[in-house]
Amino acid sequence: MRASVSERQVDVAIIGAGPAGLTAAYLLTKAGLTVTVIEKDARYVGGISRTVEHQGFRFDIGGHRFFSKSKEVVDLWNEILPDDFIVRPRMSRIYYEGKFYSYPLRAFEALRNLGLIRSGLCMASYLRWKAFPKKDTRSFEDWTINQFGKKLFSIFFKTYTEKVWGMACSDISADWAAQRIKGLSLGKAVLDGFRRSLGLNKKPNDGMETKTLLESFRYPRKGPGMMWEAARDHVVAGGNQVLMGHALKQLSHDAEGWRVSATNDEGERIIRARHVISSAPIRELLGRIHPLPETLPQARDLKYRDFLTVALMIRSPDLFPDNWIYIHDSKVKVGRIQNFRSWSPEMVPDEELACVGLEYFCFEGDGLWSSSDEELIALATREMATLGLCDPATVEGGAVVRQEKAYPVYDDCYAANVAAIRDELETAYPTLHLVGRNGMHRYNNQDHAMMTAMLTVRNILADNRAFDIWAVNEDAEYHEAGDEGAQATIGMPQNAELSEDQRVALDSVRTVPRPLKAA
């Protein structure tokens, strides 16, 4: 039987139904434009911010807090999902050899948990490195050892950092450590401990930062996917299409505009559009543009870190009250453990069961990634026992969620590669708009991915690329250095206004470690 081909003409074709793609689709629908979204996942919208369901249990990929400095983003969240946000307390600690440690670390609590001998060794190591610090602090390892001593570094920094980033701490550049761990000084913490012993500091010493305990975040009661399902429903109710299970096959431009072809099991869809918005990873997109762009080799050089969660259902009360715990233990491969009921009670349908998600950071195709679901569930069960967190006999079920390209990698060449790709595409195709996290190869949260889509919609409605969504990262660093006004900061043309609110949102970029350049 011949596969069918159908064709539709719209104003805007959107690749990907994650936060960026659906934000664009939602706003364009509201503005009265015709839109078709293609999404390669057959079942879920939301991309990395989706919520996966397994026999009534719900998991999200990494735990998604809804927090934004931008009122505009928060207003949009409230508009899309007016009745379903809950406010949750935030709690997360480090778990090491059977004990919980506050995060950020509190020196006295840490030393007490470590016991007398190991604490003595930590203090001796701290004093040794304070007296004779490494002179040339080029790496994360050098910087952290100078700050805390080698013993504390190996317990609290080395294992977790190496699990997450897949790089040795000696290969990560020191500037990231300085940014990431600033304000955390053993000296200050010791002083604080003395003040507390003398009764001069009345703040509770309960193993949690008081501030952390008070911190809370908003969360859709059924997980982040709920937000993106609601956005999709608005788009469809507005007469537009979200085609599930449709992966981009080819993208080309001619005198009539864009021709986007997408395939699923049943055949091929052709979408004709004036504009295309892409939130697909740049590496994938460039291989689909016809004729192939000259910067395809640069796109192929972009790298990603992948991620998988093994959810376990355990016959037990919740194992800990935290939303998640960091695992600083080299005996196990797991990096973090989520506690889904702490995110929302509605994530776990059975009150008799606890549901945790063991998170493994990996590379697509490596040993972990290619293990079968059964092997991964068995590994997670073994590691829970090794950590002393549960008896394997109480594990009643499990599910595996793989997330390819969870983190765009910032290596030495990524910035030049992205700049070259952007340059070629913007010159050749002014109506092709790259948005979002992997769509722009930027390590950004949902709110930032959404903001790039919001500004792109404005550019499309104005038929003018007035908002430069690409100037964000470089200028965010510039801005953090405490420099001038909004227009210069985000490289806007003189006639385009960026509100304070948009500027703050665009500036909220997370820092990631950079590898040391070869000497």
Ligand X SMILES: Cc1cc2nc3c(=O)[nH]c(=O)nc-3n(C[C@H](O)[C@H](O)[C@H](O)COP(=O)(O)OP(=O)(O)OC[C@H]3O[C@@H](n4cnc5c(N)ncnc54)[C@H](O)[C@@H]3O)c2cc1C
Count of residues interacting with ligand X (CB under 6 A): 35
Contact indicator for 95, 325 with CB cutoff of 8 Å: yes
58 binds ligand X (CB under 6 A): no
Q: How far is the CB of 165 from ligand X (least distance, A)?
A: 13
Q: Which two tokens stand for residue 455?
A: 């500004």
Q: Is the peptide bond before 104 cis (omega within 30 degrees of 0)?
A: yes
- Please, what is the angle between helix 116-131 and helix 107-114, to 10°? 130
Q: How far is the CB of 38 from ligand X (least distance, A)?
A: 5
Q: What Cα–Cα distance (Å) separates residue 123 from each residue in 115, 152, 169?
A: 12, 9, 22
CA-to-CA distance for 117 and 130, rounded, in angstroms?
A: 20
Q: How far is the CB of 288 from ligand X (least distance, A)?
A: 7
CA-to-CA distance for 401 and 44, rounded, in angstroms?
A: 12
163 binds ligand X (CB under 6 A): no
Q: Which of 26, 27, 28, 62 binds ligand X (CB under 6 A)?
A: 62
Candidates 74-82, 127-135, 278-286, 337-345; binding stretch for ligand X (CB under 6 A): 278-286
Candidates 16-24, 126-134, 139-147, 312-320; binding stretch for ligand X (CB under 6 A): 16-24
Q: Which two tokens stand for residue 176?
A: 């990231």
Candidates 39-47, 208-216, 319-327, 466-474; binding stretch for ligand X (CB under 6 A): 39-47
CA-to-CA distance for 237 and 226, rounded, in angstroms?
A: 16
Q: Which of 12, 21, 165, 314 binds ligand X (CB under 6 A)?
A: 21
CA-to-CA distance for 274 and 36, rounded, in angstroms?
A: 12
CA-to-CA distance for 228 and 16, rounded, in angstroms?
A: 12
Give the count of beta carbons closer than 10 Å to the beta carbon of residue 350.
13
From the number of C-beta atoms within 10 Å of its C-beta (0-12, 13-18, 19+), residue 332 rates as buried
Please give the DSSP secondary-structure letter assigned to residue 206: S
Q: Which of 13, 14, 28, 48 binds ligand X (CB under 6 A)?
A: 48
Q: Which two tokens stand for residue 388?
A: 């002393």
Q: What Cα–Cα distance (Å) separates residue 198 from each residue in 191, 246, 403?
A: 11, 66, 50
Contact indicator for 489, 503 with CB cutoff of 8 Å: yes
Contact indicator for 232, 17 with CB cutoff of 8 Å: yes
472 binds ligand X (CB under 6 A): no
Contact indicator for 148, 492 with CB cutoff of 8 Å: no
Q: How far is the CB of 160 from ligand X (least distance, A)?
A: 14
284 binds ligand X (CB under 6 A): yes
Q: How far is the CB of 267 from ligand X (least distance, A)?
A: 16
408 binds ligand X (CB under 6 A): no
81 binds ligand X (CB under 6 A): no
Q: Which of 193, 335, 408, 436 binds ligand X (CB under 6 A)?
A: 436
What's the number of CA atoms in the CB half-sphere (13 Å) around residue 516?
A: 19
Q: Which of 95, 165, 176, 307 binds ligand X (CB under 6 A)?
A: 307
For ligand X, the binding residues in 449-468 under the rule CB under 6 A are 449
User: What backbone torsions phi and psi does residue 435 show, to the nearest 5 degrees?
Assistant: -135, 165
Q: Which of 12, 13, 14, 19 binds ligand X (CB under 6 A)?
A: 19
For ligand X, the binding residues in 478-507 under the rule CB under 6 A are none
Q: Which of 13, 169, 226, 280 binds ligand X (CB under 6 A)?
A: 280
Q: Draw the binding track, 232-271, toward ligand X (x: CB under 6 A; -: no contact).
A: ---------------xx-----------------------
Q: How far is the CB of 40 from ligand X (least distance, A)?
A: 4
Measured in residues, the chain has a length of 519
40 binds ligand X (CB under 6 A): yes
- Strands 289-290 and 267-278 come out as unpaired
438 binds ligand X (CB under 6 A): yes
Helix runs in 99-253, H state only: 107-114, 116-131, 140-148, 150-153, 159-165, 174-180, 186-197, 210-214, 225-237
Q: Which of 322, 447, 475, 507 binds ligand X (CB under 6 A)?
A: 447
29 binds ligand X (CB under 6 A): no
437 binds ligand X (CB under 6 A): yes
Q: Which of 13, 39, 80, 283 binds ligand X (CB under 6 A)?
A: 39
406 binds ligand X (CB under 6 A): yes
Q: Which of 261, 279, 502, 508 binds ligand X (CB under 6 A)?
A: 279
Candidates 73-81, 442-450, 454-462, 475-483; binding stretch for ligand X (CB under 6 A): 442-450
Contact indicator for 437, 430 with CB cutoff of 8 Å: no
Q: Which of 160, 174, 120 is nearest to 361 (CA)?
A: 160
72 binds ligand X (CB under 6 A): no
424 binds ligand X (CB under 6 A): no
Q: Which of 65, 106, 163, 503 binds ligand X (CB under 6 A)?
A: 65
215 binds ligand X (CB under 6 A): no
Candidates 35-43, 93-101, 119-127, 137-145; binding stretch for ligand X (CB under 6 A): 35-43
CA-to-CA distance for 104 and 43, rounded, in angstroms?
A: 38
**Which residue ranges make up the site for ligand X (CB under 6 A)?**
15-21, 38-41, 47-49, 61-65, 247-248, 279-280, 284, 307, 406, 436-439, 444-447, 449
